Amino acid sequence: MSISEASTTSWSRKIADTILSQCNEQGEHAFVLERWAYVPGMLLMAVARAGVQLGEPEYVGYMQRHMDSFIGEDGSIRTYRLEEYNLDQINQGKNLFLLYQQTGEQRYAEAAHMLAAQLIGHPRTSEGGFWHKKVYPFQMWLDGLYMASPFLAEYGAVFQRPELIDEAAHQLLLIERRTRDTRTGLLYHGWDESKEQEWANPVTGLSSHFWSRAMGWYAMAVVDCLEHFPVTHPKRGTIIGIFQRMCGALVEVQDKETGLWYQVLDQADRKGNYLEASGSCMFVYAMAKGLRLGYLEPSFHEAMRSGYEGILTHLAGEDDQGAHLHRICHGAGLSKDRNGSYDYYISEAVLSDVPMGVAPWLLASLEVEKL
């Protein structure tokens, strides 16, 4: 199916309607209500963006209903604990800005202030890079850039704290400099400044491979941060430049036949590797948004278009139950029992229709339809 056909049938609406129909059938999405966390936060944000773009208040209401189950009258957040110092816990807070804008209720601002306070006091590497979590000392992961930096940039813009936009820029530039492979231009999943972790190279501190979704997190972080940078920001041009350079590296490892990307990006021919949905959706989202906002040259349009058509042709489908997405990596990380090896990345469960893939698919569809 071509992008023009996809636009006329509005895949974004199909995906959002499927999410809401599942909620109606099950009463509420238990995973969304159970704990303040990054995956449900991304799903809520995607549905709310669909509501704004498609003019569907019901979609925004879905997000608000779930957010209100966490946000107290005083701005406290159920199940959140600042002292965990966990970047993943910031991501759901991105929904607070739309709620504050639409309602003016101070509790949403107070919740955002608390999350910003976590980041201001967050543990850091010697160069000021945020640790991914307190329990992962001196480790920076690409994942964390998406969790925290766009929140910090938007918070700085909304509450007139330009030094926090500077902080978001610093985080983006630091991890790119620390994790970029000069040969391929791709970014390694993680970096351990202390070089103590079992997954870390004892000389460089880097993990061993280029995981698709990790680079997807970073690509989305860049375009979402830049949206809140003033055009006069001294680091804006540099960040746009490294984004374009990174997208060029991604095009080099894009599968030419399907337009998709592999779970381990540069190991296409290796046994067990597979074309993975969440990373592919994230790259399409980042490229489509980058093209729309002028961060990428028009020459990237073909790679973006090929990627989106590949998703619809090879990974997506629909039936009377709604829209479906397949071949989604359940999750991957770096720890003692997650050693960052090739065999580890291809061993994680591969699922269908889980929010880790569906949310980026909805975000990508919204951006493609804007073009």
The sign of the dihedral angle between the CA atoms of 162, 165, 170, 173 is: negative
* Matching residue, tokens 């994680």: 348
**Residue 143 annotated in active site:** yes
Separation of alpha carbons 160 and 158, rounded Å: 6
Burial of 220 (0-12, 13-18, 19+ CB in 10 A): buried
**CB of 314 closer than 8 Å to CB of 7:** no
Tokens describing residue 144: 């964390």
Closest by CA to 310, choosing from 363, 252, 258, 249, is 258
Alpha carbon 79 to its chain's center:
22
* Matching residue, tokens 């509420």: 28
Separation of alpha carbons 56 and 51, rounded Å: 4
* Matching residue, tokens 């509501």: 51
Closest by CA to 219, choosing from 273, 266, 288, is 288
Separation of alpha carbons 356 and 331, rounded Å: 8
* Matching residue, tokens 């489509």: 288
- Exactly one of 68, 74, 88, 143 is catalytic; name it: 143
Packed helices 106-120 and 95-103: angle between N→C axes, nearest 10 degrees: 150
Q: Which residues are catalytic?
A: 143
